[in-house]
Amino acid sequence: MEALGGNGAFWAWKLPVIRRPKRPPPSNSKSSDSTVEPTGGGGRRFPLKQAVTAASLALTGDTIAQLNDRWRKRKQPVSDSSDTIKDIISSVISHHDWLRSLRMTTYGFLLYGPGSFAWYKYLDHCLPHQTAQNIMLKVLLNQIVLGPCVIAVVFAWNNLWLGKLSELPNKYQKDALPTLFYGFRFWIPVSLLNFWVVPLQARVAFMSTGSIFWNFYLSSTLCK
């Protein structure tokens, strides 16, 4: 065989050695923020986990608001607890305003979840160090930037679904500032805790959990 040539040689001709390029091993790691890349590979990702969390908690807050509204409008209290439970279940199914719930749910999924996640990432990029000064600055920016934006967007989203965009300036004039000032009392301590101890990937979930109360208030305010 040596006369024929070894290692791929045939008489006087030597055949080139063809080597396949090594492929990198597939990564088994998953993104911690459960994001989904859109078609086109532009590098931007949709924060699916945060969007779903915000949507589900917006739905929860609106459902509580609707139940509370119907409970307060009851004229005759029911003494039997079993009848009360049956009445609540029947009220949820038959009298629940599902279009109103859909408005709040889509707002959480399409707007609040992705928008607030992007905002928190931006704040952490600009103020990466967990100093007392940076935390207080984040809380301040959260109230004077994110707070008014959320109120403006949710009011506009609600009026758009209702076909009442022409009434939006009056809605802002009547309810925007009272809602914002009322929110300061709730969101300042919640935001302080959020930026102080909660990691970035969990901040939307934490704030959305607090939003159960806030969505209850917002839903009640929007449907006056």
What is the span of the domain harbouring residue 170?
A: 48-69+94-222
User: Whole-number mean pLDDT of the chain?
Assistant: 77
CB 8 within 8 A of CB 14: yes
Residue 33 placed within a domain: no
CB 119 within 8 A of CB 207: no
CA–CA dist 49, 130 (Å, integer): 25
Residue 132 placed within a domain: yes
Q: What is the pLDDT of residues 164-213, one digit of tens each?
A: 999 999 999 998 998 899 888 888 999 898 898 888 888 878 887 887 87
Residue 138 placed within a domain: yes
Residue 140 placed within a domain: yes
**C-alpha angle 91/95/96, rounded to 5°?**
95
Residue 65 placed within a domain: yes
Report percent pLDDT > 90 for the chain.
33
Per-residue pLDDT at 30 exceeds 60: no
CA–CA dist 173, 156 (Å, integer): 13
What's residue 93's pLDDT?
67
What's residue 89's pLDDT?
66
Residue 186 placed within a domain: yes
Choose the weakest-confidence range: 90-104, 183-197, 210-224.
210-224
CB 109 within 8 A of CB 55: yes
CB 153 within 8 A of CB 165: no
Tell me if residue 159 falls in helix, strand or coil. helix
Average of per-residue pLDDT across 31-40: 48
pTM over 0.85: no
Supply the DSSP string of 164-177, one letter for each residue.
Answer: -GGGHHHHIIIIIH
Token couple for 84: 């009360």
CA–CA dist 203, 120 (Å, integer): 8
Give the list of residues 6+ apart from residue 57 with CB closer than 8 angstroms, or none: 108, 208, 209, 211, 212, 215
Residue 6 placed within a domain: no
What's residue 95's pLDDT?
79
CB 204 within 8 A of CB 35: no
Per-residue pLDDT at 84 exceeds 80: no
Residue 43 placed within a domain: no
If phi over 0 gives left and psi between -120 and 50 gives alpha, with beta otherwise, what is residue 29? Answer: beta
- Residue whose C-alpha is closest to residue 32's, from 159, 218, 199: 199
CA–CA dist 182, 214 (Å, integer): 10
Q: What is the pLDDT of residues 102-155, one digit of tens each?
A: 999 999 999 999 999 999 899 999 999 989 999 999 999 999 999 999 999 999
Could you give the number of structural domains in the chain? 1
Per-residue pLDDT at 12 exceeds 50: no
